[in-house]
Amino acid sequence: MAKHLLKLMDLTGEEINSLLNLADQLKYEQKHGIPHHRLEGKTLGMIFQKSSTRTRVSFEVGMYQLGGQALFLSSRDLQIGRGEPVQDTARVLSRFLDGIMIRTFAQQEVEDLARFGSIPVINGLTDFCHPCQVLADLMTIREHKGALGSLKMCYIGDGNNMANSLIVGGLKTGMAVSVATPKAYQPDPSVLEFAKAYPSFTLTEDIYEAARDADVLLTDVWASMGQEDEAQARRAVFEGYQINEELMKVAKKDAMVQHCLPAHRGEEITEETFEKHADEIFDEAENRLHAQKAVLVQLMG
């Protein structure tokens, strides 16, 4: 596997599956109290330029459970927040740490950190993608439904970082993927270019067409971090791009629902549908821990 986790596009389907297998094994070990200190003495630096609950806590707890430690590095406190170039930050941090997790705006910044540093870099969300989240999603879907290859995934809403990673992760693991977004909010052109090669990929504006016979439905907020100023305008555009009980009727009877969280009830998902599928959604949140431990062991072990 590549030295970093910058985006799912860089991994093969086999590499994704083997990370999921390792995640299952680490989850088993944790649940059964089997020690798994595979990163004894290692330190992960975690740079956050945006807020986080799940990513921060799961990486920090994950490192602890693996016998290592994690440092929370807010960009408000780092010199990077005052303009120290990423080339220098990468080289300095490489002298102290064994790995870096970064959550930021531009994908290029993550790619540059990997290019100029000499330690593994993990993307903890950019405007372009959210690979760690989608590994946890795939792990959860597999736990609930078995082999991914026979399943249809449907994503409803903004063609954002989650949409981009779900399309790539879903298609690479053999799922059929259907996406419904408003015309002006489609996924990234590079992702659509990638998806074009898969006959099982569909993109539409019609949420009912996308959700038909789906095994799993996913959605995400209408306005992502950094788009707070657009929230009002987006509410008008995305009206109707919602997972609700009406939509669930056209999916498979036993269809599951996933949401990366945080959720805005009454916008991209109704309270009723969210609560009906809360067990699946919070399994997904928990699996951030296990999936990321697999990434950490793979890259830093």
Binding residues (CB under 6 A) for ligand NVA: these are 125, 160-162, 220-221, 224-225, 260
Strands 176-180, 256-259: pairing kind: unpaired
Q: Give the residue with the Cβ less far from ligand NVA, 114 or 125.
A: 125
Residue 186 touches ligand CP, criterion: CB under 6 A:
no
SS3 101: strand
Return phi, psi of residue 70, to 5°: -125, 140
Tokens representing 247? Answer: 């939509």
Choose, by CB under 6 A, the member of 21, 53, 74, 150 that binds ligand CP. 53
Distance, CA of 65 to CA of 297 (rounded, Å): 11
Residue 287 lies near ligand CP (rule: CB under 6 A): no
Grouping H, G, I as helix, E, B as strand and the rest as coil, residue 46 is strand
Considering only residues 234-263, where is the footprint of ligand CP by CB under 6 A?
Answer: 260-261
Out of ligand NVA, ligand CP, none, what residue 8 binds, judged by CB under 5 to 8 A for its kind, is: none
Residue 153's identity, in one-letter code, is M
**Annotated catalytic residue within 54, 56, 103, 142:** 103
Catalytic residue among 4, 56, 130, 142: 130
Measured distance CA(223)–CA(148) in Å, rounded: 29
- From the list ligand CP, ligand NVA, none, pick the one residue 287 interacts with, judged by a Cβ distance below 5 to 8 Å according to partner type: none
Strand arrangement, sheet containing 69-74:
69-74, 43-48, 99-103, 121-123
Binding mask 81-120 for ligand CP (x = CB under 6 A): ----------------------------------------
Q: Is 220 among the residues known to form the active site?
A: yes
For residue 48, which of 69, 71, 66 has the smallest C-alpha distance? 71
Q: Is position 38 annotated as part of the catalytic site?
A: no
Q: What is the binding site for ligand CP (CB under 6 A)?
A: 52-55, 125, 133, 260-261
Residues involved in catalysis: 103, 130, 133, 220, 260, 288
